Structure formats: structure tokens, C-alpha cells
A and B are shown apart, each in its own frame.
Chain A
Amino acid sequence: MRAYLEPGAAVGAVAVAMAVGVYVVAVIDGTAGRLAGGTGRSDLGAVLLDPLRTVAVLATQRRRRTERPDAPGWALAPGLLGGLAATGLAVVPVGPGAAVADPSTGFVVFATAIAFVMIAVFLHGWSPNSLFPLIGAYRYGAQALSLQIPFLLAMLATALPAESLAVMDIVQAQEDLWNVVRQPLGLPIYLMVGIGVSFWGPLNLPDGADLVGGTSAEDAGTDRLAWELARAAMLFAIASMGAAAFLGGWWGPLLPGPAWMALKTLFLLVVMVGSRHLVARVRIEPFVVACWAVFIPLALVNIFVSGALLL
């Protein structure tokens, strides 16, 4: 593995990126909610301060205990999700040669982090030993298992033009043509999967209101705070990987590379977070059927077309 930073600096860089990302997600969410619902004060100060107010409320709120929970698992789940978001972020390059880590299997490392989100969410729903969280955990199991294969196939297509699994090479190969143009089916599938994996917006079935909050029904206070932070961090990691793999990463005119990267990540975040306020929730049965019967064939067509273009 090629490492570009000292271990301490690498951890610091990822932590700063995650903190900024989580705050941006919260601000976009608040703005989109105000625009869609038209409620509450809507001046800039309120939009910027609301996330901090929520954090203060949750940090001082009392935590909740259930009967005979799996306490280590309950405490571990948000940490695991946050750690997976950090792992995902670490392999995303922000400029030519500038990444926290650039293993030759960067794409597989990211896919592994996404697959492990299933374990984190299942653990989070199972460990409180309570009904609604457990139902949420099983819903997430069904949803996430169906999402894995379209996700892997859509991501795999981006490795074809690069002839490499390293994310740095995948971005490098998009100098002339971004993957979003070369493989128009890839980005929509990736965004759908990203929303589903971080169970946000229309695919928020595991934590849905019909389950009184689903996997986080028993969370209050710092438990809920940690879980919400980890979820937002995961969304940020998925958006930044989407920007790198499909929108050409640091390539763009005039502005320096990292600025383009930040703008593209912001654009994907607005699309994904905005979906929560603009798109109706999807029912799980048709969604799972669509994953297996529609999105897998579409992702395969995407791979065949991009492979044929390369020959």
C-alpha cells in the first residue's frame, strides 16, 4: 500500500473531513426541509445554527435503557458505522496524488465498507432487544442485501476504463471524458444504492416513522446523536466516492482540483439529501423486486456497453 501521510495526520484529515461533511449534510437537510415545508424561521443564521442546537439538545438528553439489551453491541454499532464512513473516505482522492490512502484495491476496500454497513445497522437494530428496532433491522437486511449486487456492478464498470482497482487510477482515467457521460446508467444506480445503503429519504424504511423510528426507536440522548452523526458521515462518504468515480473527481477547468472535488461532492449531497423532502417513500416489496429484476440487468448492460466501447 502507498501511504501519503503520517498515521496521525491521516486520522486528523479524515476526522476533519467527516466533521465538515456531517455539518454540511445537516445544513442542506435543514434548508431543503424549509424550502419544501416552508415552516420555521428561514434566515441564514437559523439555518447555520440549527444543527448545533440539535447536537446540544441530544447531548444533554437522558439516555434510554431497555430490558436485557446487548449493551456492547448497542454501543459498538454507531462507532462501527462511523469507522466504516472513515474507511470509505480514506480511499477517496481529493487531487492528483493526494489521498489519505491509495491501496491497489481501493475500490474493493470501499465496497467492503458498504457491505459492512449491513452488519452495523443490523447490530444496531438487534442489540436493544426490542420489537421495532428488530423489525427495522430485518427490513434493512432485505433492502441492503438486494442493493449489494447492483452497487458492485455499477462501481465495477468504472474500473474498466482505468484498468485498475485503485481509486486514484479510476479518477485519472476520466481526464478526457467523465464516467457519467461514458456510462450514463452508472450514476443513477449508484445514487439509488447510496440512498438505500445510508437509508435516507425515500428508502428510509429501516428507520421509518411507521416503525416509530425503526432501528433507532430505543435511542435517545447521546446514543441517537452518535447514530445520526455516523449516518450523515456515511452519506458524505458515499457522495464523495460518487464524485470521484463518476463525476471526474478533481478534473475541471479554472478551479484547483480539490475545489472541484468539493463542489461535485456538494452537488451529490444536495441530490441525495434533497430526495428526503421531495421524493415519496418507496414500499419495500416492489423495491426489492426492482433491485433483483431491473437494476441488476441494467447494471450488467452498463458493464457490457462500457466494455464494448473499450474494445
Chain B
Amino acid sequence: MNRSLVVDVLFWCFAAGSVVTGYLVFRTDSMVRAAFWLLASFVGVGAILVLLAAEFLGVVLILMMAGEMLIMAVVMVMFMMNPAGLNPMFMVHQHRFAVAAGVVSFAGLSVVALTADFPDQPVDASVDATAELGFELLGDSMLVFQTAGVALLATMIGAIALASRNGRFGTSDEGSREPALEIEELESP
């Protein structure tokens, strides 16, 4: 079989799959199912990235999302009603506006995609994109890479500080608030 035909067929399967599963995320009646559909959508996009020669990025995207979806399912069950996530639910607001926004953004972006004149320079098949990315990460773009690392470290610290139960003024579920500046004994007789 011809290689470009195989790539085309695979591309259309993954493209249709990722858009349809992405839509099902918001139509399904259970949060755990929604997380699984979102994961399926990400796997489709990751596969398209591999087809587009960005092998490392595609596989890493799938790797990242597997862990993330599991965390998402656990968080849902921690905080939402309906712990096992198997009962029906449908919770939306401003539905018509949302549909309109989605349709308009799709139409606008598609028009740009179809009418804009992008240069046609496909990536050279002999290039090892994984190795190139490695040299870029630890070469010219070292500063960007380090900045991303520091941003992630700051995020970790910030997320722990936000999610920690023990705040500066007591536990957060008792409404961790700063005490008032006035001395209360003077106000109340």
C-alpha cells in the first residue's frame, strides 16, 4: 500500500475520533465518562502529532494526559455529588450563547485556515525531529526551557499553598480569615 494513502486514512480516523470524543465530553451524563472521552480526544491529537513528524511531542502529550485524566476523575469524585460518577447529570448554563460562540469561532477560524496563504514547506523526512528538539532544548532555547521549569516549580509551590488545609489563620474549611484589626473587647460592653 501507498504510504501517503495510509497516512491520510489514519489522519481522518484520528481527526474524526478526536473531534467527536471531544464533543461527547460535554454530552455524556457522567463525569468519569467525560474524563475518559477527553482522554480519547487527547490520544487522537497525540496520534496526529506523530503523523505530523512531531513524534516526541505526540507521545509525551499522551503520557501527560493519562496521568492528568486520572487525577481529574479523582478530583471530580472528591468534590462533586454522585461519587462513583455513574448516575446521569446535565449541568449547563447560558447554553444558546455557548453554542453560538462555538459555531462562530469554528467558522471564523476555518475561514482563516482556508483563505490565508501559508508557505508550503513540509518538514524534511530525513530530519530526526526528536534529536533536533533535544539540541534546541539544551542549546539556543535553554533559557526558555529553564523558564518553563521555574514556572512549573512556582506552580507546584503555589498549588500546595492554595490546596493546603492549614492556612496562616487557621484551617481553611473553617473560613481561614485574617483577624480584624480592632480589638473586640473595646467594642462590646
Partners in one complex: yes
Interface residues of A (CB under 8 A from B): 1, 68, 70, 73, 103-105, 108-109, 111-112, 115-116, 118-119, 122-123, 126, 129, 134, 138, 141, 144-145, 148, 165
- In the complex, which residue of chain B has the Cβ closest to the Cβ of A121? B70
- 1/0 per residue, CB under 8 A from A, across B23-50: the answer is 0000000001100100100000000000
Nearest Cβ on chain B to A55's Cβ, whole angstroms: 30
- In the complex, which residue of chain B has the Cβ closest to the Cβ of A117? B66
- The answer to whether B136 has its CB under 8 Å from any CB of chain A is no
- The answer to whether B59 touches A105 (Cβ under 8 A) is yes
Can you give 16 A-B contacts (C-beta < 8 A)? A1-B55, A73-B36, A104-B55, A104-B56, A105-B130, A108-B56, A108-B60, A108-B63, A112-B62, A115-B67, A118-B66, A118-B70, A119-B39, A119-B69, A119-B70, A141-B70
- The answer to whether B73 has its CB under 8 Å from any CB of chain A is yes
**Chain B interface, DSSP helix/strand/loop, else mixed:** helix
- The answer to whether B85 has its CB under 8 Å from any CB of chain A is yes
- The answer to whether B59 touches A70 (Cβ under 8 A) is no
In the complex, which of the residues B63, B69, B128 has the most CB atoms of chain A within 10 Å of its own CB atom? Answer: B63
CA distance A123 to B30 in the complex (A): 13
CA distance A68 to B74 in the complex (A): 21
Contact partners of A116 in chain B: CB under 8 A: 62, 66
Say which residue of A70, A112, A119 sits within 8 Å of B86 (CB atoms). A70
- The answer to whether B71 has its CB under 8 Å from any CB of chain A is yes
Contact partners of B32 in chain A: CB under 8 A: 126
- The answer to whether A141 touches B74 (Cβ under 8 A) is yes
Q: Give the 6 A-B residue pairs with the shortest CB-CB distance, closest first.
A: A115-B66, A112-B63, A104-B130, A108-B59, A116-B66, A118-B70
Interface residues of B (CB under 8 A from A): 32-33, 36, 39, 55-56, 59-60, 62-63, 66-67, 69-71, 73-74, 77, 84-86, 128, 130-131
Q: Given A1-B55, A104-B128, A122-B73, does the pair A115, B86 have CB atoms closer than 8 Å?
A: no
- In the complex, which residue of chain B has the Cβ closest to the Cβ of A129? B86
Contact partners of B77 in chain A: CB under 8 A: 138
- The answer to whether A126 touches B84 (Cβ under 8 A) is yes
CA distance A70 to B86 in the complex (A): 8
Nearest Cβ on chain B to A161's Cβ, whole angstroms: 15
- In the complex, which residue of chain A has the Cβ closest to the Cβ of B56? A105
Q: Given A126-B32, A134-B84, does the pair A105, B55 have CB atoms closer than 8 Å?
A: yes
Say which residue of B36, B55, B56, B70 sits within 8 Å of A145 (CB atoms). B70
In the complex, which of the residues B55, B77, B85 has the most CB atoms of chain A within 10 Å of its own CB atom? Answer: B55
- In the complex, which residue of chain B has the Cβ closest to the Cβ of A144? B70
Nearest Cβ on chain A to B168's Cβ, whole angstroms: 24
Nearest Cβ on chain A to B20's Cβ, whole angstroms: 15
Contact partners of B86 in chain A: CB under 8 A: 68, 70, 126, 129
CA distance A145 to B64 in the complex (A): 12
Nearest Cβ on chain A to B14's Cβ, whole angstroms: 16
CA distance A184 to B63 in the complex (A): 27
Contact partners of A70 in chain B: CB under 8 A: 33, 86
Contact partners of B60 in chain A: CB under 8 A: 108
Q: Given A112-B63, A112-B66, A118-B70, does the pair A126, B55 have CB atoms closer than 8 Å?
A: no
CA distance A103 to B59 in the complex (A): 11
Nearest Cβ on chain A to B93's Cβ, whole angstroms: 27
Contact partners of B70 in chain A: CB under 8 A: 118-119, 122, 141, 144-145
Nearest Cβ on chain B to A241's Cβ, whole angstroms: 15
Contact partners of B71 in chain A: CB under 8 A: 145
- In the complex, which residue of chain B has the Cβ closest to the Cβ of A106? B59
Nearest Cβ on chain A to B91's Cβ, whole angstroms: 20
Given contacts A68-B86, A104-B131, A119-B66, 20 further A-B contacts (CB under 8 A): A70-B33, A70-B86, A73-B36, A104-B55, A105-B56, A105-B130, A108-B60, A112-B59, A115-B67, A116-B66, A118-B67, A119-B39, A122-B70, A126-B84, A129-B86, A138-B74, A138-B77, A144-B70, A145-B67, A145-B71
